[in-house]
Amino acid sequence: MSQVATISVQPLAPARVAFLATLLAAAAGLPVGLDTGLIAEALGDIGQAFHASYRVQEWIVSVLMIGAAAGSLGAGAVSYRFGRRRTLLLAMLLVGAGAYLCLSASGVGQIIAGRLLIGVAVGTCAFTAPLYIAELATGDMRGRMVSIFSMLQSIGILAGYLVGGLCSAGGHWRWMVAFPLLPAALLFAAYFLLPESPAWLAARGRADAARRVLLRVRDDPARVDAELAAMAAERTRDRVGGFALLRRQPNFRRSVALGIGLQMFQQLGGINVVMYYAPRILEGAHADPAMAVWATVLVGGVNALVGLLAVFAVSRWGRRPLLVVSCALMAGAMLAAAAIVATDPPGAGVPVGLIAALLIFVAGFGLGAGPLVWTLCSEIQPLEGREFGVATSTLASWCGDWVVSNTFLSIVAVVGLPRAFIGYGVVNVLFILFTLRFVPETKGVPMEAIEAHLMAGEPLRRIGCPT
């Protein structure tokens, strides 16, 4: 009698399921970063193809932030109504539609429309992915996984620079702007595998479904019961909308203000000046065009490498120390860049010295200001107002990004590159002072404890202290 061999497939351990689910959500950072890298390389060719002025080129870059601001505003309502997973699926559809409009563009208007759609998707991802991760991950892995979202943005930027560098010689800007179609399609298919956020399920009255998800991602059933009890207690409270809670609850106003401050400092410090305009900056400092292209790729490589290191550093060093070190590096690099450009040494001194300063600046950002701001903004908001609080801080991020990207070329034309760099350096010094005065240390602290301290009126810098 023949015997049929059977294969026993063991289910994944809960910790592994939680890691894979949050990693997949963090992969939304790839198309977010990819667009940044691609437009930096494609902008010059698009400008030549359509005879676009500097102001039009600023709008080609910055219209994405208008879309992202709209996306971050709408993402709260969409994710509340339809769930985190479906919201991420919608974002990938918008990335694909926007990339197709740019690919088939017959004029600047169509490119701007396509980038507006991509911007809505980017804002939606930037809101939804960190929120989903914060709600699914345990406290000990939460900071690391949100940092992976930021790291994958950095990898996306590097990929965009590489694709742009390879295509720039032939002026193939359409290939550049079409490239986001690939990761968007892959992630759209993959997001059907994600479990829904248990916090969202519980908030919709689906406690049994929330329990099933938690049992898949938690090793300890007692912990599942405790989380479900906390969610149930939250549902029994007299819930109000975001604006009503903002008016009624001064402690919530403090957490919202802190999130806005973190995001505005992150953007006004000048990171997207480097990310969007690095080739233009280097060419303005007398770098050869080919050197400017591949130096930009090097900037993206450092950004990705340091983003990888930050994933491990954030759980070891904590939020506050990394953020202070990060801002100090950024401030020093900007001031050094100003001095290098102002002195204008002969030969290759300006491009080489400026490239070094930009690399240090990007490394400083990737070490702390990049990943930690998103982590903190998802940690400090109370459950009742979390969608509103995260949406507000995300909106502030895109508003700050728009201000920088829409004004940089004009500012340089008026005051010169050295003074512009000095301004960004001063902003980063102010960021250090802001961190020391207001930012809490939240490493390893449960979000329920952070909320309890916030609502008890503790100073903001102490809301992450262990109970």
SS (H, E, C) 371-399: HHHHHHHHHCCCHHHHHHHHHHHHHHHHH
Q: Residue 367: what pLDDT? A: 86
The verdict on residue 5 lying in a domain is: no
In tens, the pLDDT along 339-386 reads 988 887 655 556 788 889 999 999 999 888 988 898 888 889 887 888
9 Cα distance to chain centroid: 37
How many Å apart are CA 69 and CA 124, to the nearest integer? 9
Q: Residue 6: what pLDDT? A: 42
DSSP characters for 267-287? HHTTHHHHHHHHHHHHHHTT-
How many Å apart are CA 183 and CA 366, to the nearest integer? 22
Residues 182 and 315 both lie in one domain: no
Residues 186 and 63 both lie in one domain: yes
The verdict on residue 96 lying in a domain is: yes
Least confident range of 70-74, 143-147, 210-214: 143-147
Average predicted confidence (pLDDT) for the chain: 84
Q: Residue 242: what pLDDT? A: 72
Assign 9 a pLDDT band (cuts: 50, 70, 90): very low
Residues 318 and 455 both lie in one domain: yes
Residues 292 and 377 both lie in one domain: yes
Does residue 106 have a pLDDT over 60?
A: yes
The residue among 358 and 233 whose pLDDT is bigger is: 358
How many Å apart are CA 406 and CA 387, to the nearest integer? 28
CB-based contact 427:295 (threshold 8 Å):
no
Q: What letter represents residue 310's amino acid? A: A
Where does a domain end: 174, 194, 214? 194
The residue among 282 and 266 whose pLDDT is bigger is: 266
Q: Residue 453: what pLDDT? A: 92
Share of the chain above pLDDT 90, in %: 28
The verdict on residue 314 lying in a domain is: yes
Least confident range of 6-15, 52-61, 80-89, 411-420: 6-15
Domain region containing 108: 11-194
The verdict on residue 236 lying in a domain is: no
In tens, the pLDDT along 293-335 reads 778 788 888 888 887 777 777 667 888 999 999 999 999 999 9
Residue closest to 105 by CA, chosen among 72, 151, 138, 60: 60
Where does a domain end: 194, 225, 252? 194
Task: Read off the pLDDT of each residue in 423-433 and give the average, rounded to a whole number.
Answer: 97
Q: Residue 457: what pLDDT? A: 92
Does residue 8 have a pLDDT over 50?
A: no
Identify the H or E element spanning 31: helix 29-50
CA distances (Å), 399 to each of 223, 373, 410, in order?
A: 39, 15, 17
The residue among 377 and 262 whose pLDDT is bigger is: 262
3-class secondary-structure state, position 235 = helix
Q: Residue 349: what pLDDT? A: 55
Share of the chain above pLDDT 70, in %: 91
Residues 411 and 329 both lie in one domain: yes
Rounded to two decimals, the pTM is 0.74
Tell me the CB-side half-sphere exposure of residue 97, using CA atoms within 13 A.
Answer: 13
Token output for 93: 């559809």
Residues 190 and 333 both lie in one domain: no
Does residue 173 have a pLDDT over 60?
A: yes
How many Å apart are CA 391 and CA 369, to the nearest integer? 19
Q: Residue 467: what pLDDT? A: 57
1's CB contacts (< 8 A; 6+ apart) are none
Q: Residue 445: what pLDDT? A: 82
Where does a domain end: 194, 212, 231? 194
Residues 268 and 329 both lie in one domain: yes
Looking at beta carbons, which pairs linking 332-337 to residues 24 or more positions away fall under 8 Å?
Answer: 332/360, 332/425, 333/357, 333/358, 333/360, 333/361, 333/364, 333/425, 334/270, 334/361, 334/421, 334/422, 334/424, 334/425, 334/428, 335/421, 335/422, 335/425, 336/360, 337/361, 337/421
Assign 402 a pLDDT band (cuts: 50, 70, 90): confident
Residues 98 and 158 both lie in one domain: yes
Assign 7 a pLDDT band (cuts: 50, 70, 90): very low
Residues 183 and 252 both lie in one domain: no
Does residue 171 have a pLDDT over 80?
A: no
Residues 186 and 260 both lie in one domain: no
DSSP single-letter state for residue 219: S
Distance between terminal CA atoms of the chain?
66
Residues 305 and 369 both lie in one domain: yes
CA distances (Å), 233 to each of 83, 203, 239, in order?
A: 21, 11, 11
CB-based contact 137:145 (threshold 8 Å):
yes
Q: What letter represents residue 181's amino acid? A: L
Number of domains in the chain: 2
Does residue 3 have a pLDDT over 60?
A: no
Residues 113 and 249 both lie in one domain: no
Count of residues making up the chain? 467
The verdict on residue 3 lying in a domain is: no
Token output for 309: 């290191």
The verdict on residue 459 lying in a domain is: yes
In tens, the pLDDT along 51-74 reads 888 788 888 888 988 998 888 888
136's CB contacts (< 8 A; 6+ apart) are 18, 21, 22, 25, 195, 197, 198, 213, 217
Assign 4 a pLDDT band (cuts: 50, 70, 90): very low
Least confident range of 75-89, 113-127, 227-241, 384-398: 227-241
In tens, the pLDDT along 182-208 reads 999 999 999 998 888 888 888 888 888
Q: What is the CATH number of the domain that holds 304?
A: 1.20.1250.20
Residue closest to 33 by CA, chosen among 264, 329, 370: 370
The verdict on residue 217 lying in a domain is: no
Q: At what angle do helices 319-343 and 289-317 cross, to 10 degrees?
A: 160
Rg of the chain (C-alpha set): 22
DSSP characters for 164-216? HHHHHTTT-HHHHHHTTHHHHHHHHHHGGGPPPPHHHHHHTT-HHHHHHHHHH
The verdict on residue 232 lying in a domain is: no
Helices (H), 83-196: 84-103, 108-136, 139-168, 173-178, 181-190
